[in-house]
A and B are shown apart, each in its own frame.
Chain A
Amino acid sequence: MKKLLFFIPVAALAILSLQANEDDKKGKKLPAVTIKDMAGNTINTAEASNDGNPIVISFWATWCKPCKQELNTIAEEYEDWQDETGVKLIAVSVDDQKTTKMVEPYVNATGWEYDIWMDVNGDFKRALGVNYVPHTFLLNGEGTIVYSHNNFVPGDEEELYDHILEAAEK
């Protein structure tokens, strides 16, 4: 019995330190860039939070068909995903001045429920090293980037959801 009393804290310590090491390896968080959201409010990207639940950051543009396909496909499941994991999706538009005025009408006409950020001159995209859209990141509850995927083909939303479930459990 006494040996058990000794064993438990040591085991807990070992697990905690392993966890710390794992997080250290991937410890990348969102860079701090100032952009606006679709409503016109100023956003500091490093302050994105979701009460300890996972966050999906998806870069898209109104001219990018696979981006719209990805976000429309997820939109069909979004409510279920939110109920199960509390995930929040932030869709970052990289539309520049040619097409940025189309973002709000497109989002509203299509009926998306996501947060929409406007990265008009590509500052946030550049800071994250994104080359092409679509590019989707998943942040766990601590704001650490745990998944990064470019391109979209039908079925990719299922792989994303598997990772969201994993991140939500931790």
Chain B
Amino acid sequence: MKKLILPILLLTGSVQGVAQQVLLPAVSGNVETTFQYLNEDTLIGAQQPAEKTVMNSYALVNYEYKGFKAGMRIESYLPHILGYPDRFNGTGLGYRYAGYNHEKIEFTVGNFYDQFGSGLIFRSYEQRQLGIDNAMDGLHVKFKPMKGLIIKGIYGKMRYNFNSRLENADGLVRGFDGEIDFSEFLGLLDSSKFKMTIGGSFVSKYQNVTHPDYNMPRNVGSYGGRVDMKYGRFFLSAEHIIKENDPSFDNGYIFNKGHGTFINFGYSQKGLGIVLQAKSIDNMSYRVDPGATLTDLQINFMPALTRTHTYNLAATLYPYATQPVGEVAFQADVLYKIPKKTKLGGKYGTSISMNFATAYRPVRHTSSESGIDLQDSSRVTYKTGLFEKSDSLYYRDFNIEIKRKFNKHWKGTIKYFHFDFNNAVNVVTKDANGIISSHIGVIDVQYKINRKHAVRMELQGLWTHKNADGTKQDKGDWATALIEYTISPSFFFAVMDQWNYGHPQESQRIHYLLGSAGYIMGASRIMVNYGRQREGIFCIGGVCRPVPATNGLTITFTSSF
């Protein structure tokens, strides 16, 4: 008996030990650094900064324990990499917060990101590769008094700059948003087939700005509502936002109200998906400082109603960015998968995807019949309706892609694009006026050598239309060839050449050659690029940033923990 006591005691002790393996504080975050060594390259207009090397670094740490959360991000620009605003400088704290999450209420003090609805009225987010970070700094509250009802409140300043520490703009952003999900709210909607959510938002900014000619409003409000419905295989959602008069550099200091409307309709089933979207924007540039430009201090988010293209020639030469001052845009997408084991589909099936996107300038009525008197003191300079489009084309994009797996080793994609791009509206080049039209073709083939090794090859071509005098538009024709070799799970190597073979001037028929290699270990990655990169517009999600030409070495390291 005595001999059994000890093991029993130890056993119960060990059970307790395991049971005590209770909730530990959760720490997560990531580090990232981008280092560039730049050469001068007069052929493409690449500059070498005085320091020769530039580097951006970030370290983010999040801490969470039993509902309490806190975190911070240290940033460093020594100096900033090319493409970032020049005012970014130094090392220090760029983001910090503390808060508490409870079942019914969550709050954060300090920096936070959030969006209301689709972001058309308010969105605060970080898009590091574009140098965008409009983090809010103040108080964020999320209140869930009952199932299906969420009320959010925000109040604070917006991030503008980093100069050895976070710097916010003067001015305030405050607002609240309510959303009711009828499937969960009061059991009002007890159907698994039909789902509906409605929401409403109100946002107001305070700005203490003056203008020599106009009485600038101190507080500018915006408000609106949204509805989201799903019925079986269909969905329909709509959002409408109105902004009060907000004279700004973007709109030429007029006192018109603005509106933003967004409608989505879709159908999907196994093997088929259809999405139709329409957007009407008028005078929706809404910034904490009305004199700000580019991507600074935007309170709302208006992505372009286009497909984000990833193939180099389609993505970098003529990308479209939303015109916050006004546009009427439409987009349609059809995705179809020809079933596998059919004659047309082949052994594995074939995917077909078609997309059409277009945007026009809205009509502006300026006559007295519309109630506009350009001579009066109201400074309301035009009237426009919902989806009232003119014939002035901003952009048109049609593309179709066919993807197929042939056997265990071979996979291929072919894609065709047609772009009509109005350079007068979205200036991307000084070598053309008006509308630039082009065709693009892509062939992308992958060969899986064995379990761990694969090679992928891409061949792309872009052909512009001709001007009236027979010369090619803009920079003429381009070709891109890419070859990529990967070794699972740790290595990749790639070489890409983007060649402007059809440039009207022979001396400008430049090769942009770029070599890349990378090493991945778990949640970390180090990547090295060496070569030439074109100057251009670099876009992510319809938000764009101009990037200067570079020639040199880029090393990026990223790791999550």
B235 pairs with A148, CB closer than 8 A: no
Annotate A55-77 by CB proximity to B: 1 below 8 A, 0 otherwise. Answer: 00000000101000000000000
- A29 contacts across to B, CB distance below 8 A: 26
User: Residue A23 contacts which of B21, B26, B446 (CB distance < 8 angstroms)?
Assistant: B21
User: Which single member of B10, B113, B454 contacts A13 (CB below 8 Å)?
Assistant: B10
Residues of B within 8 A of A130 (CB): 30, 560
Interface residues of B in 1-45 (CB under 8 A from A): 3-4, 6-8, 10-11, 13-15, 17-18, 21, 24, 26-30, 32
Shortest CB distance A159–B (Å) = 5
Q: Does B214 contact A (CB under 8 A)?
A: no
Which residues 323-343 of B have a CB within 8 angstroms of A? 333, 335-337
**A32 to B273, alpha carbons, bound, how many Å?**
32
B357 to chain A, nearest CB (A): 11
| A2-B3 contact given A98-B308, A121-B115, A155-B453, CB 8 Å threshold | yes
Tell me the count of chain A residues lying within 8 A, CB to CB, of chain B.
63
Docked CA distance A31–B70 (Å) = 13
B contact residues around A13 at 8 Å (CB): 7, 10-11, 13-14
CB of B114 within 8 A of chain A?
yes
Partner of B113 from A63, A122, A158 at Cβ < 8 Å: A122
Whether A111 lies near B21 (C-beta < 8 A) is no
Q: A10-B10, A104-B268, A120-B115 in contact; A155/B333 too (CB < 8 A)?
A: no
Q: What 5 pairs across the A-B complex have the smallest Cβ distances? A: A105-B273, A155-B488, A98-B303, A153-B486, A9-B7
A119–B72 Cα distance when bound, in Å, is: 21
Q: In angstroms, how far is the closest chain A Cβ from the Cβ of B280?
A: 16
**Chain A CB within 8 A of B310 CB:** yes
In the complex, what residue of chain A is closest to B541 when comparing beta carbons?
Answer: A98
Q: B-facing mask of A135-156, CB < 8 A → 1, else 0?
A: 1000000000001111101111
Interface centre among B21, B125, B304 (most CB of A within 10 A): B21
Q: With A and B bound together, what is the CA distance between A101 and B451 in angstroms? A: 35
A102 CA to B101 CA, complexed, in Å: 31
Q: A108-B270, A154-B446 are in contact. Are A17 and B560 (CB under 8 A)?
A: no
Chain A: minimal CB distance from B360 (Å): 19
Our pick among A97, A108, A126, A154 for the contact of B303 (Cβ within 8 Å) is A97
Tell whether A132 is near chain B: CB-to-CB under 8 Å. yes
30 A-B pairs within 8 Å (CB atoms) are namely A2-B3, A9-B10, A9-B11, A12-B14, A16-B15, A16-B18, A27-B21, A28-B28, A29-B26, A40-B183, A40-B230, A96-B125, A97-B115, A98-B542, A101-B237, A105-B274, A107-B268, A108-B272, A109-B271, A122-B125, A122-B126, A129-B62, A135-B560, A148-B522, A148-B560, A149-B489, A149-B522, A150-B560, A153-B489, A155-B453
B253 is an interface residue with CB less than 8 A from chain A: no
The interface on chain B, measured as residues whose beta carbon lies within 8 A of the other chain's beta carbons, has a size of 89
A156 touches B488 (CB 8 A): yes
Could you tell me if A42 and B184 are in contact, using CB atoms closer than 8 angstroms? yes
Cβ A153 vs Cβ B272 within 8 A:
no
Given contacts A101-B277, A153-B492, contact A128 B235 (CB under 8 A): no
Q: How far is the CA of A123 from the CA of B106 in the complex (A)?
A: 13
Interface residues of A in 27-56 (CB under 8 A from B): 27-29, 31-32, 34, 39-42
Taking A111-B271, A129-B28, A158-B488 as contacts, is the C-beta distance between A102 and B11 under 8 angstroms? Answer: no
12 further A-B contacts with Cβ under 8 Å, apart from A110-B335, A148-B560, A155-B489, are A5-B4, A12-B14, A23-B21, A41-B183, A42-B184, A63-B541, A105-B267, A122-B125, A129-B62, A150-B525, A154-B454, A155-B488
B487 sits at the interface (CB 8 A): yes
Does residue B351 face the partner (Cβ distance < 8 Å to A)? yes
**Least CB distance, A81 to chain B, in whole angstroms:** 17
Q: Pick the contact of A28: B17, B26, B454, B522 (CB < 8 A).
A: B26
Contact with B272, one of A10, A20, A109 (Cβ below 8 angstroms): A109
Chain B residues lying within 8 Å of A114, measured Cβ to Cβ, are none
Docked-complex contact B335 and A109, CB < 8 angstroms: yes
Q: Which residues from A are CB-within-8-Å of B237?
A: 101
Determine how close the nearest CB of chain A comes to the CB of B158; give it in whole angstroms. Answer: 16
Give Cα A102 to B306, complex, Å: 12
- Please measure, in the bound complex, the distance between the C-alpha atom of A101 and the C-alpha atom of B336, giving whole angstroms: 16
B520 near A: Cβ within 8 Å?
yes
Complex: chain B residue closest to A120, CB-CB: B115
Q: A32-B101, A127-B62 are in contact. Are A132 and B8 (CB under 8 A)?
A: no
CB distance from B189 to the nearest CB of A (A): 11
Instruction: Check B119–A97 contact: CB distance below 8 A.
Output: yes
Are A17 and B524 in contact, with the CB atoms below 8 A?
A: no
